[in-house]
Structure 1
């Protein structure tokens, strides 16, 4: 097996920066290749604890307090930030990290967080229009040669004679991740702009169908399908015995049977076997959604029992 494993967190459920720092450092020390976080401003169930943290603010801090692990969002909503300032913000965090940042970007879907914080929430078609234009602006700014200027004649985000600064330090700019189950626009945007396509919380079979659709679009558009990394995101719950598994499921308010059915839950060997089903349909990377950020022993068990079995 050659599947790359990353840790994926949901801080809007109630986590401080210090909580995220502890998980990011543990993830780095244990050998996971990435620490990613959602970009949400409102909890989904529960009370949200101490309240949300801003994704790119926390990633900037983590960029200075880690040294090797990849950092990013899965995913930033295009409704939250204007593309020019977002390009500057992400490029700045990339500089702060020494070139370890990735940008997951999506159209946005959670209306309640928009109304809770005064963020406009256009209809779905317009959100995709805005996402498409944001991708054109961000990649255009990053791809403009030093000393040149960038302009974009857009409906939502017109840009005139931008100096296109600041620049990421990674060659080719910050890798962009696009995901989702859309049949037409999502695969097209991924092929045009992304380094990675992500199938989130789908079965292995459903993920395989999404991967195949993206590969087909890439072939038609003249892009080498192998140049697009394919990834999945799955909730994880690992325990060496049934009591530990049940305790960890209970801690996040989830039914263990449901987690076994719809996620990567079970003994280390069970989880490794489930990962092989995603690898078989083309997944090269899996984001492990860890919901209890206080249980650092869980990360250690995943690393020792699952990650160590991967070459």
Structure 2
């Protein structure tokens, strides 16, 4: 099982804050560093303000060497797919082929209003066309052009450049929808991610995606299955309580919904997830100043899940 570090910088983080976490995660042996793609804090003032995910990842790509990088997830409403395809391909080149694109339909209407970004009421058609355009641009052979005539996007004789280093570049389809998201994961995804579900719902979500793969004629085992869950682990109850208080949560609630508790409890939860077919867990780290948290997880959890 892979363990990946996932942060929410819209809650308040500079580029330097994010770089410190990414470099620590790389040094400690975590598989990847991912970040959310939001422009407004969900509670609190969000100071010093939002950072653009792909600008940030481009910088981090040049200041790391082995850790994989990506978004969980970029909203299809934020960028034209032609521009996003260029941005992601460029960051992949800047990283030497370590990037993954997480893409979803988007949901946070307030951040769209705050920055003048259109928020259409129906977004799955938009997401589907984005996936068709992005993967179409990347898979077009060199020297050929790509055209597309959809309801939302039209591209005419695009040179379909630049190409990512990776072929194909992994696409992570995120969401908890019961039918359309699994179908998109089966069609386009290298990975399906369920973010912050009720723990007991995870096997059902994975089973729905496996069914969608069967329906699409795809081997369900060709897809990676992952979950994103909040992280709060302590060497003892006192340390756990301190970490819970630092992020404004209660230990009991964290134990119910995340990778949380003492080290043995966290290992039990990870073991349960592995039994359910979870290949990868994104550990949502909310206190970016607490690098000792990463040290503990790397020393006490990481060796037991690999």
Scaled by the length of structure 2, what TM-score is found? 0.99
**Aligned residue runs from structure 1 range 25-174, under 5 A:** 25-123=23-121, 125=122, 127-172=123-168, 174=169
CA contact (8 A) 1:38 1:74 kept: yes
In 2, Cα distance between equivalents of 1:112 and 1:290: 23
Task: Give the number of equivalent residue pairs.
Answer: 306
Q: Report the alpha carbon displacement of residue 276 of structure 1 after superposing the two structures with TM.
A: 1.1
CA contact (8 A) 1:144 1:164 kept: yes
Tell me which residue corresponds to 2:292: 297
CA deviation digits over 1:137-177, x for unaligned, max 9?
A: 000000000000000111111111000001000122x2100
Q: Report the alpha carbon displacement of residue 280 of structure 1 after superposing the two structures with TM.
A: 1.2
In 1, Cα distance between equivalents of 2:59 and 2:74: 17
The equivalent position to 1:273 in structure 2, one of 250, 268, 276, is 268
CA contact (8 A) 1:204 1:281 kept: no
SS for the counterpart of 2:85 is helix
CA contact (8 A) 1:204 1:277 kept: no
In 2, Cα distance between equivalents of 1:53 and 1:72: 14
In 2, Cα distance between equivalents of 1:83 and 1:138: 6
In 1, Cα distance between equivalents of 2:225 and 2:218: 14
- 1:223 aligned to 2:221? no
In 2, Cα distance between equivalents of 1:210 and 1:258: 22
Q: Report the alpha carbon displacement of residue 229 of structure 1 after superposing the two structures with TM.
A: 0.3
- Unaligned stretches of 5+ residues in structure 2: none
CA deviation digits over 1:262-295, x for unaligned, max 9?
A: 1111111110100111111111000000000001
Tell me which residue corresponds to 1:248: 243
Q: Report the alpha carbon displacement of residue 30 of structure 1 after superposing the two structures with TM.
A: 0.3
CA contact (8 A) 2:9 2:36 kept: yes
In 1, Cα distance between equivalents of 2:185 and 2:304: 31
Q: Aligned-residue CA RMSD in angstroms? A: 0.8
The equivalent position to 2:196 in structure 1, one of 194, 198, 201, is 201
Q: Report the alpha carbon displacement of residue 9 of structure 1 after superposing the two structures with TM.
A: 0.2
In 1, Cα distance between equivalents of 2:197 and 2:19: 29
CA contact (8 A) 1:95 1:169 kept: yes
Deviates more, 1:183-192 or 1:202-211: 202-211
The equivalent position to 1:12 in structure 2, one of 10, 13, 21, is 10
Q: Report the alpha carbon displacement of residue 310 of structure 1 after superposing the two structures with TM.
A: 2.2
Scaled by the length of structure 1, what TM-score is found? 0.97
Deviates more, 1:260-269 or 1:293-302: 260-269
SS for the counterpart of 1:148 is coil
- Which runs of at least 4 in structure 1 moved beyond 3 Å after TM superposition? none
Q: Report the alpha carbon displacement of residue 76 of structure 1 after superposing the two structures with TM.
A: 0.2
The equivalent position to 2:257 in structure 1, one of 246, 256, 262, is 262
